[in-house]
């Protein structure tokens, strides 16, 4: 539960950083743009936190960024935005996915739990009690 909260909080911070980067590059930040970027990065953090895929943390973050980023990139493409923007959002999601996983796993020391190993370790303890 702690990993989910930390990864989601990292996603919120990533959203704020993403909006700041966009504003510094000249992107007009409207309420819709702000909400869209915050939703994208916060959802990315949450998905990283709940994911049960067993991958190295770096690959896991990049993969989750690609999956979540694809949804948001596709929506931009379908809305008629330039293809470079959709591609930039996809690449940005992969970079932010890597960074969210980096901070969650290494900085805040909340790696993915080994659910199978933990369940097997508790069975003998219950049987002995």
Q: Which residues contact 12 (CB under 8 A, 6 or more apart)?
A: 38, 41, 42, 45
CA nearest to 101, candidates 50, 48, 55: 48
User: Rounded to 10 degrees, what is the CA torsion of 92, 95, 100, 106?
Assistant: -170
Q: Which residue has the tokens 């303890």?
A: 125
What residue ranges do the domains of the chain occupy?
2-128
Residue 105 has pLDDT above 70, yes or no: yes
- Tell me the pLDDT band of 7, cut-offs 50, 70 and 90: very high
Supply the pTM of this predicted model: 0.85
In the prediction, which pLDDT does 113 show?
Answer: 81
């Amino acid at each position: 539960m702690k990993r989910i909260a930390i990864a989601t909080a990292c996603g919120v911070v990533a959203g704020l950083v993403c909006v700041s980067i966009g504003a510094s590059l000249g992107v007009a930040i409207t309420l819709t743009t702000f909400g869209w970027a915050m939703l994208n990065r916060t959802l990315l953090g949450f998905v990283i936190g709940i994911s049960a895929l067993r991958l190295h943390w770096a690959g896991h973050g990049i993969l989750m960024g690609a999956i979540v980023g694809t949804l948001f990139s596709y929506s931009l493409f379908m809305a008629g935005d330039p293809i470079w923007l959709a591609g930039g959002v996809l690449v940005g999601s992969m970079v932010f996915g890597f960074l969210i996983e980096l901070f969650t796993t290494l900085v805040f020391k909340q790696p993915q739990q080994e659910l199978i190993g933990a369940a097997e370790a508790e069975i003998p303890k219950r049987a002995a009690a």
